[in-house]
Structure 1
Amino acid sequence: MELTFYIAAAVAILSTIMVITRYNMIHALLYLVVSFLAVAVVFFTLGAPFMAALEVIIYAGAIVVLIIFVIMMLNLTREDVQREKEWLQPSVWVGPAILSAVLLAELVYIITAADPVQTEALVAVDAKVVGLALFGPYVLGVQLSGILLMAGIVGAYHLGRQKKKVIHRFLQERSSAA
C-alpha cells in the first residue's frame, strides 16, 4: 500500500508540473484532471475514500467544467479555433493517457489486493459527518470559497467582454476614418 501512495504522489507532482509548464489552456486542463485523479488515489491509499470521491466529483468534475465554460465565454476567433484543432493531435493525449493508465492500474491493484478487514476500515468517515462539519464550524470557509469562484467567473467574463468591445471600437474608428 505504501508503494501505491508514492506512485500516485509522483504522478500528481509530474502532472502538476505539466499543468504549470503548458502554454495551451486545454493541454494544461488535461494534465490538471490527471493531477486531481492522482490526488484522489493518494486520499484513497491514506484511508479516506469519501474524500477521494469528493476530489473526483468536485475538482475533476465541476471545476474542470467551470474552466471549460470560462474558455467558451472568452469567445475565440476562427483563427484561434483552427489553431486549437491543429494542437489537438493524438500526440497531445499520450502524456495524460499514460499517467491515467498508471493511476488506473494502481487503483485496480489496491481494490483487488485489499483485505476485507481493511476495506471495512476505509468507510470510517460518514458523508453526514462531513456535511455537518462543512456547514457547521466551517461554513464561513465554504461561503468564502463560493464567493471566490463567483469572482473568478465574473472577472473572466469581464475580461472577455472588454476585449470584444475594444476590437469593435477599433473597427468602428477604422471604418469612420475611411
Structure 2
Amino acid sequence: MIWPFYLMAIVAIVSTLRVVTNANPVHALLSLIVSLLAVAGIFLTIGAPFAAALEVIVYAGAIMVLFVFVVMMLNLGRETEEQERKWLSSDAWAYPALMCFLMGLCLVWMLGSDYSNSSAQGLMIGTQMIGPKEVGQALFTKYLLLVEVAAMLLLAALVAAFHLGKRDPSAEEEQQ
C-alpha cells in the first residue's frame, strides 16, 4: 500500500504546474513551497528521512527565504500595494492550505504506522534507511560537480535579479 507516495507525487506535480503557470510571483512562491514540502514527503515514503529533513530545511526554508527576499528586493513600487492587500485574502491561501492538509494527513498516517512489524514493512517503498553519512558521501564524491554548479546558478540568479530590479534613484525622486 503506497498511496502516500502517490498522493505526495500528485501534490508535487500539481503544485509545480501552478508555479510555472501562475503570473503572480508570490502565489508562485507559495506553490513552490508546497511542491518542495511534497518532495520531502516523497523522501519520507521511500525511506530517506534525512533527505526529507534536508529538503525542508535547505530548500523549503533557506532557499525560499532567499526567493522571497529577491521578490521583495525588486521593490515594484507603490502601485502594487493594492495588489499586495489582495494577496491577504482567503482565495490566495486556499490552494496551499488544502495541499498542506493532504500532506499533513499523509504524514500523520505514516508517523502513526508501526514499521517494526512485518505487515507494515510494505508501507515504505525503500528497502533501507539512508542516513547522513550516505548523503554526505554521495554529495561530496559522485555529485560534487552538480552541487557546485547549482550553487553558482543560484548566485548568478540572485545577482541578475538584483541588477534587473535595480531602480534608478533619480526616477524614484521624480515619481514622488
Q: Distance in 2 between matches of 1:82 and 1:34?
A: 25
Q: Distance in 2 between matches of 1:124 and 1:110?
A: 15
RMSD: 2.4
- Mapping of residues 10-159 of structure 1, within 5 Å: 10-116=10-116, 118=121, 124-159=129-164
**Maintained 8 Å contact 2:48/2:131:** no
Structure 2 unmatched ranges of 5 or more? none
Query: Normalised by the size of structure 1, how large is the TM-score?
Result: 0.84
Query: Normalised by the size of structure 2, how large is the TM-score?
Result: 0.85
Structure 1 unmatched ranges of 5 or more? 173-178
Please, which moves more after superposition, 141-150 or 110-119?
110-119
Amino acid at match of 2:57: I
Shift of 1:124: 2.4
**Maintained 8 Å contact 1:48/1:122:** no
- The answer for the alignment partner of 1:176 in structure 2 is none
Q: Which structure features the higher share of helix residues?
A: 1
**Paired-residue identity, %:** 46
**How many pairs were matched up?**
169
Shift of 1:21: 2.0
Shift of 1:110: 0.8
Using a 3 Å threshold, how does the CA distance of structure 1 residues 5 and 109 change in structure 2: closer, same or farther? same
Q: Distance in 1 between matches of 2:86 and 2:168?
A: 28
- The answer for the alignment partner of 1:168 in structure 2 is 171
